[in-house]
Amino acid sequence: MKTVLITGCSSGYGLETARHFLAEGWTVVATMRRPREDVLPSSDRLRVLALDVTKPESIAAAIQAAGNIDVLVNNAGIGVVGAFEATPMSTIREVFETNTFGVMAMVQAVVPQFRSRRSGVIVNVTSSVTLAPMPLVAVYTASKVAIEGFTASLAFELEAFDVRVKLVEPGYAPTTRFAENGGARMSGLIPAAYEPFARPIFAAFAKPSAVTTEADVAKAVLRAATDTGSQLRFPAGPDAVALAQMKCAP
């Protein structure tokens, strides 16, 4: 029975991914900044641990408590939408601490056990913003594009130790708590000068032609975790798949 450790399981993609792996018979270590066992099904194959990916001591404690794992899913992330001009550097650093440096720190924490066993999979969850330029998400995009480049390079060096590294690229999922979780962070990031530009963009967000569900992402993460081939990127959701196909078109 294989064990997966998933970050950011309190809601959204992480919560559904934990549920999906449990349903598929895996042992799941579901991590959250503020642990809540009531959001997941009761199971003797489930452990809920506290983890803040921005704090080294929290990472060390969670990895020690989890023991040997077979798959790491770096799902924890925070969002920000707004004009770059109005985004404080403190907010930019906050986004990168979780979305970029938190992922890198988790990878460093698990690589020693994967390398020594010559087995293991790392799945980094990014976003469809890496597939096509999108307005008002420059900071968020930068934090995710950094992980795309990081993952592609890392896959080469860990392949030498039979460790696989994958990317999952979710599309736009309006049913997640992306906006709610980033509400305070995004306050005031659309100055008056940007309002005429931002208004139609937000209107389009409210009526998307195709969307991604949490289940789409959970299924893509499982495919990535169990894929033994050379595929690096796994777009998740019909909108992300369409963007990926456009990107690959000649």
Catalytic positions are 140
Encoding tokens for residue 44? Answer: 């003797």
Taking residue 31's Cβ as centre, other Cβ atoms within 10 Å add up to 31
The angle formed by the CA atoms of residues 71, 72 and 77, to the nearest 5 degrees, is 150
Helices (H), 56-209: 56-66, 89-96, 102-117, 138-159, 178-181, 183-186, 195-206
Rounded CA separation 49/205 (Å): 34
The rounded distance, in Å, linking the Cα atoms of 18 and 204 is 31
Whole-Å CA distances, 122 to 29, 63, 204: 14, 14, 34
Q: Which distant-in-sequence residues (6+ apart) come within 8 Å of 36 by Cβ? A: 10, 48
